[in-house]
Structure 1
Amino acid sequence: MKVERVSIHKIKMPLKQPFITALNTVHERKLLITELTFQDGTVGWGECSAFDTPWYTEETLDTCLHVLSTYLIPALYEIGEFDHPKAIHALFNRYRGHHMAKSAIETALWDGYAKSLDRPLFQVLGGQSGEIEVGTAIGMQSDKEALLQRIQEAVDIGYKRIKLKVKPGEDLEVLETVRSHFPDVPLMVDANSSYTLADLNHLKKMDRYNLMMIEQPLGSRDFVEHAELQKVLDTPICLDESITSFEAAQTAIALKSAQILAVKLSRVGGLAKAVRIHDLCKRNGIEVWAGGMIESGVGKAHNMALATLDGFAYPGDIAASSKYWEKDIITPEIEVQDGNIILSERPGIGYEINMGALKAHTEETLEY
């Protein structure tokens, strides 16, 4: 394989409704869509899922674009021909961090590589089943009625797990309301690092609500205090923001900071790094699930392929295209049926790019 051209599409996609978390409210999603054209004419597609400001991670779309154009794309051309996407990591490792920028190239390489083999990406990664269970995340709502309506809509679609965003002052009362209406729905909460260890007794009260997990209750880079909290909680802790690398996952496991890890391939540097974390967790009896970051269909398709690996024990945050977008940039759009997504058997990510939709959302295309 040899890359002959790199195109980066800077796109902006308005959400159907704002997505509200403890940290920020997202009204529109700006993304970088990477298009790699190989010597044989094959095209691979990837995505940079950083946000436009550093509210969630240190990386932003601007920092990613700088790193891509200044370092990573030249490194990609430097490698010349290569046999496998993993080969790019030897070059990329000379540059510390910038995982989302690296993932934007690496995922497109995987798509092109799978297409060159005439195989679906999920099979190339080692997935055994072309069907995955999925859940959905529901942002904070303006009132209880709106929240209950969003949950009912998700239940009607058949999502296998509901994730609620919580923060201090908007947590126990919310859970009380939800559990009174939905006593049996598989439910978890995501705090986005909005609590401290001083809230231990308060967080302990969440045990009464039969939650699947509490995601990232404490600091985004913390492992020690999460370990202390997990000792006293009956509810499993899930680390999300803390899992930025294979080494971070090792630390979490060694310190017993959590019972579950959320793996976001873009945050850890791509598919190869995510698979390595999956394998580590499987060896150590730690369950994982595939997190989402309000991606376009391109990013979701890569997440879906990753989620087919057998260590992903929980439904991932991989909602239907129609949840967020009036029109996605892939065709056909991603659909959820009875809480499941059936992956395409076509080569690569299994979806074509809707060039009309891509053009409509594109603010600028850069060629390298």
Structure 2
Amino acid sequence: MKLQSVRIHHVKMPMKFTFTTSFGSMNEKEFLLIEATDEDGTVGYGECVAFVAPWYTEETVKTCWHMLEDFLIPMLIGKTLQHPDEVSELFSSIRMNNMAKAAIEGAMWDIYCQQTKQSLSHALGGTRTAIDVGIAIGLQPTKEALLTAIAQALAKGYARIKVKIKPGADVDIIHTIREVYPDIPLMADANAAYTLEDTALLQQLDRYNLLMIEQPLAYDDIVEHATLQRALSTPICLDESIHSLADVKRAISLGSCKIINVKIGRVGGLTEARNIHDYCAMHNVAIWCGGMLEAGIGRAHNVALTSLPQFTLPGDTSGSSHYWQEDIISPQVEMIDGQIKVPQTVGIGYELNDKVLQKYIVSTRNYT
């Protein structure tokens, strides 16, 4: 592979509903779409999952564009690569900025799969032909609204329900759900909203048979999560704390969690995500693929990654229609009876729908 040119599309898509977490609310997704062209004319696509504000990680849409434009694209254009694994090696001198790295790396994986005539799932080592799908439900204005959202999700066949919690909206919410749905696979996502001082409160969640509590403590913590995990019977899942395979090794060594959420953008790309998968498989640590409200390209990458065998828990990769009136890929990612079929065709398995994309492009820049 020898990258010849890159186009960055700045896209803004309205969502079908407002998604609320302990950080705030969103009703549209602004993101960067990467269109990379190899010297033989093969075009690959990647999606940058950073948000407009640095509330999830330090990265934003603008900082990722800066990193891509001024550092990552110039480092990559004109280089001859035999495999997309070499992209992360090439970028190793750049500290963090994982979402920017993952965006262009994902496009290179797409190019590689097309040139070698294999699906992205196969290239990564995937073994599943279909993946189980869970759903993340944001904070709701009332308990009735939350129960309605859960009922609708279960009716559609979702294999796992994740609900957001925060101080003042936690134990009571879980109790309400369990009164109506005592046996559904249920997890709580705290988005780093608690401290060790809340240990007694979080221990109250042990009685509700949760699959996990996701990232209860600080976004950059691994050490204190080990203390909390020893105090809980409910498995802790780390999300924001995990940026690399090195972080995974530290977390497992310390006993900071029993489950790990793998997000391609957060860990710097598909290569690192696959490496984390392989390490967790060796150490019998359960993993699942988290979501970042991706549009179609990022969603396609998530589907391929989740086909790897150690992704034993349903991920957050819902079908396109759950989030968007229309997605930017064709066909759209479709969830049927709680599952999404893993494409077996060459590349990511979906085509860019340029007609839809053009409706939502804010601007485009070209790099050669």
TM over 0.5: yes
Aligned to 1:316, the other structure's residue is in SS state: coil
Q: Quick check: 2:5–2:77 contact (8 Å CA) kept in 1?
A: no
Once the two structures are TM-superposed, the CA of residue 362 in structure 1 deviates from its matched residue by 0.5
Q: Counterpart of 2:38?
A: 38
CA distance in 1, matches of 2:197, 2:129: 44
Identity %: 50
Q: Counterpart of 1:282?
A: 281
Q: Counterpart of 1:172?
A: 171
Q: Are 2:157 and 1:153 equivalent residues in the alignment?
A: no
Q: Residue type of the partner of 2:346?
A: P
Once the two structures are TM-superposed, the CA of residue 72 in structure 1 deviates from its matched residue by 0.5
Aligned to 1:107, the other structure's residue is in SS state: helix
Q: Counterpart of 2:48?
A: 48
CA distance in 1, matches of 2:22, 2:69: 33
> For residues 255-312 of structure 1, what are the alpha-carbon distances to aligned partners after superposition, in whole Å with 9 as ceiling and x for unaligned?
0000000000111110000111111111112111001100001001101111111111
Q: Counterpart of 2:365?
A: 366
Q: Counterpart of 1:298?
A: 297
Aligned to 1:218, the other structure's residue is in SS state: coil
Q: Quick check: 1:163–1:189 contact (8 Å CA) kept in 2?
A: yes
CA distance in 2, matches of 1:181, 1:250: 39
Q: Are 2:346 and 1:347 equivalent residues in the alignment?
A: yes
Q: Counterpart of 2:108?
A: 109
Aligned to 2:77, the other structure's residue is in SS state: helix
Q: Counterpart of 2:71?
A: 71
CA distance in 1, matches of 2:106, 2:201: 41
CA distance in 2, matches of 1:34, 1:219: 31
Q: Counterpart of 1:225?
A: 224
What is the RMSD computed on CA atoms of the aligned residues?
Answer: 0.9
CA distance in 2, matches of 1:219, 1:181: 31
CA distance in 1, matches of 2:253, 2:307: 26
CA distance in 1, matches of 2:53, 2:249: 29
Q: Quick check: 2:3–2:78 contact (8 Å CA) kept in 1?
A: no
Q: Residue type of the partner of 2:150?
A: I
Q: Quick check: 2:290–2:315 contact (8 Å CA) kept in 1?
A: yes
TM-score by length of 1: 0.98
Q: Quick check: 1:52–1:62 contact (8 Å CA) kept in 2?
A: yes
**Where does structure 1 differ by over 6 angstroms across 4 or more consecutive aligned residues?**
none
Once the two structures are TM-superposed, the CA of residue 78 in structure 1 deviates from its matched residue by 4.2
Aligned to 2:227, the other structure's residue is in SS state: helix
Q: Quick check: 2:4–2:78 contact (8 Å CA) kept in 1?
A: no
Once the two structures are TM-superposed, the CA of residue 364 in structure 1 deviates from its matched residue by 0.4
> For residues 316-358 of structure 1, what are the alpha-carbon distances to aligned partners after superposition, in whole Å with 9 as ceiling and x for unaligned?
1101111111111011111111111001221111000110111
Q: Residue type of the partner of 1:258?
A: C
TM-score by length of 2: 0.98
Q: Counterpart of 1:197?
A: 196
CA distance in 2, matches of 1:137, 1:209: 18
Q: Quick check: 2:14–2:27 contact (8 Å CA) kept in 1?
A: yes
Q: Counterpart of 2:88?
A: 89
Q: Quick check: 2:2–2:78 contact (8 Å CA) kept in 1?
A: no
